[in-house]
A and B are shown apart, each in its own frame.
Chain A
Amino acid sequence: MTRVTDDIIIRTVARVLIPFIQLYALYVIMHGHHSPGGGFQGGVIFGASFILYLLTHGLEEAKARMSEMKAGLFSSFGLLIYSGIGLLCLIMGSNYLDYGRLSTILRVIPAQARSLGILGVEIGVGIAVMAVMFSIFFDIATGGEPPGGEESFGDRDG
């Protein structure tokens, strides 16, 4: 499943497509205010681009881009952004996740501060979802085994 492919068509198409998939994912996250989309959808698209890279370039090359360690850190970091924004609102003296009070540090009107708070939260959700998608796929693809071992799924000859 995660065998390195020699097929130049698959590798080239994936290499050309992945930046556009990632750009589209960022667009979906940033444009959640005006169109369907948001953190969950954009995060899944972003995670799919890493999964495509893993499928076409194999485990070893994918690990250099996005290791399991990094995926774990990113998933916690995304959740930390979300709850951190909520905590910041609490410190500023309003309710948890009540972004209106952030207007004093962002120097905008409260409605605009709420819009920016939503954006920050969506970015956190996007990072968490992206990392969790990759992490789950990585674990299932390797069966939890460390890649590169004697039972490696990464470099078995087809």
Chain B
Amino acid sequence: MRALNLFAVIITGIILIYGTQDMPDWADPRSPASTHVSPRYIEKTLEETATPNAVTSVLADYRGYDTLGETTVIFAAGISCILILRARRQER
């Protein structure tokens, strides 16, 4: 069974390494991620949001909905800690 697991891991690893052959190079300006919306954000961020840090303007303005979800996830983590750990109070 362990030999089979090792075999599955090695095969998966070979497939993943083969898949990286098609990945764009580091900092390739013509990679799909750099040609879609990134240039527009970089060019217009100062003009549209008056924020020099493009990361902040994408995080909180262009992708503000996403960040709202992230904050909700953190809030949910706190609430679940309260629900799981403080539920023991009532049992006593």
Contact = CB atoms under 8 A, between A and B. Distances in A.
A joins B in a complex: yes
B17 to A, nearest CB: 33
- Determine chain B's interface SS by DSSP, over half rule: helix
A115 B68 contact: no
B26 interface: no
B85 A139 contact: yes
Given A36-B55, A136-B77, A145 B71 contact: no
Given A117-B61, A144-B85, A145-B89, A79 B72 contact: yes
Q: How large is the interface on B (under 10, 10 to 19, 20 to 34, 35 or more residues)?
A: 20 to 34
B53 to A, nearest CB: 6
- Determine chain A's interface SS by DSSP, over half rule: helix
B74 interface: yes
A114 B67 contact: no
A121 B75 contact: no
B78 interface: yes
Contacts, number: 106
Contacts of B84: 144
Contact of B85 (A76, A117, A143): A143
A129 B64 contact: no
Given A99-B61, A144-B89, A145-B89, A72 B82 contact: yes
Nearest to B46: A111
B36 interface: no
